[in-house]
Amino acid sequence: MATPRYQQISVLTMNTLAFTVCFAVWTMFSIIGIPLKEDLGLSETEFGILVAMPILTGSLIRLPLGMLTDRYGARIVFTVLMAVTIVPIWMVSTLEQYWALLVAGLFVGMAGGSFAVGISGTARWFEKKNQGFAMGIFGAGNAGAAVTKFVAPTLVVAYGWTMVPRVYAVAMAVMVVLYWFFTFKEPVSHLVDKSVTIREQLAALKDPKVWKYSQYYSLVFGGYVGVSLWMTKYYISEYGIGIQVAALLAAIFVLPSGVIRALGGWLSDRFGAHTVTWWVMWTSLICLFYMAYPQTELAIRTVDGGTLTFSFGGNIYLFTAALFVMGIAWGFGKASVFKYIANEYPQNIGVISGIVGLIGGLGGFLLPIMFGALVDVFQFNQIVWWLLFGATGVSLIWMWWTERKPAAPAAVGTR
């Protein structure tokens, strides 16, 4: 029996809105961490750890949440998940010590696990030919990071950083109520058989293709999260602008990369996951090559004993343009990776989504810490793009090696 259209639309809408709220919460430390860095006298590495802490739990929890979603359905799992984050979100506004903020960040980070719940809960409501598009719409909830870039700086300037977690806690409470009343209980056909054991579900960890897709996702999603957390501070440090302007410029990367995911899903349905992902990686590599070039001065001693000086390096406008293009590419890539998964693992998409989401999320956790450590050691901001350039190169090589078409056999009996 076909699923009623109104149920598909309602579930997709609620999953997307809930994921948007959760993603905004998940990335709020990228903004409130800036005044906290000044108040607490944090180093670049300590700042990276602070903003990355929610990403850790949001990543680690994705696999068990994906397994629970396969077994019990997205409606109950998503509702409970959002409800248990409300108190920790509010408590952040009451804390003043670094260690306490790190611990609170771990609990707030559970909101990031919502992806594994929503992606599985969304895909199963739609027929295969439309799954890529539906999952792309859901994934546009990544734009919650852009909501944080727009809303949080205004709250920080007007009321102080403590207002951000308070507003977000109220928003999460409202979302819990709306989600419960506007979603539907999943049919039995959406769930895995009760006889399937946890051991059988985790057997997917032995599949090398799952690890390959995890590598792709650690770049297009983990990179998206890591860069989203870092960009406001990057603009302030590199170009000397204020927090509101820096956050607005960062949103030029964050917002399109989130909302364009739906188009990436449609393109993946039409042209295939491999084709879209291949061009995503090449586009990223080209953008990162430009972005990674540091501000450089070349001094040449002339024949008369003087010095001829040349300056190289992109300005803020060209850099932002390259960042925007890379964000669009990553938005397509986030959708195309999950099109791979929907095609190849239709029966246990929750578990596979959980594994891939976990690894991708860990990329988002590790990158801000690595960014901070690299800047502390090398003392120039562009070093962070060198790291992402290398990761993109690895993904391209892995894709070419494992997904290239075998050469056609030579014709027999011809000369």
Confidence grade of residue 229 (pLDDT, cut at 50, 70, 90):
confident
The candidate with the shortest Cα–Cα distance to 167, out of 311, 324, 25, is: 25
Q: Is the pTM of this model over 0.85?
A: no
In a domain, 414, yes or no: no
Alpha helices in 195-272 (DSSP H): 198-202, 208-220, 222-239, 243-259, 261-271
Q: What is the pLDDT of residues 51-96, one digit of tens each?
A: 989 989 988 898 889 888 888 888 999 999 999 999 999 999 999 8
pLDDT at 168 over 70: yes
The candidate with the shortest Cα–Cα distance to 140, out of 218, 222, 254, is: 254
> What residues pair up with 56 in beta bridges, in sequence order?
none
In a domain, 193, yes or no: no
Instruction: Quote the CA–CA distance of 68 and 291 in Å, as a whole number.
Output: 41
Q: What is the pLDDT of residues 246-257, one digit of tens each?
A: 988 988 888 888
Q: What is the mean pLDDT of the chain?
A: 86
Residue 3 phi, psi dihedral angles, 5° rounding: -75, 130
* Cα–chain center distance at 305: 53
The answer to whether the beta carbons of residues 152 and 244 sit under 8 Å apart is no
Q: What is the pLDDT of residues 21-53, one digit of tens each?
A: 999 999 999 899 999 999 999 998 999 899 989
In a domain, 412, yes or no: no
In a domain, 409, yes or no: no
Longest dimension (CA), the chain: 87
Instruction: Quote the CA–CA distance of 399 and 397 in Å, as a whole number.
Output: 5
Instruction: Quote the CA–CA distance of 412 and 1 in Å, as a whole number.
Output: 51
Q: What is the pLDDT of residues 348-378, one digit of tens each?
A: 777 787 788 888 888 888 898 899 899 999 9
The candidate with the shortest Cα–Cα distance to 228, out of 327, 319, 315, 136, is: 327
> What residues pair up with 224 in beta bridges, in sequence order?
none
In a domain, 160, yes or no: yes
Confidence grade of residue 150 (pLDDT, cut at 50, 70, 90):
confident
In a domain, 363, yes or no: yes
Confidence grade of residue 194 (pLDDT, cut at 50, 70, 90):
low
CATH code of the domain containing 303: 1.20.1250.20
The residue range of the domain holding 387 is 5-188+199-402
pLDDT at 411 over 60: no
**Residue 297 confidence (pLDDT):** 80
Helical axes 261-271 vs 273-291, angle rounded to 10°: 130
Number of domain units in the chain: 1
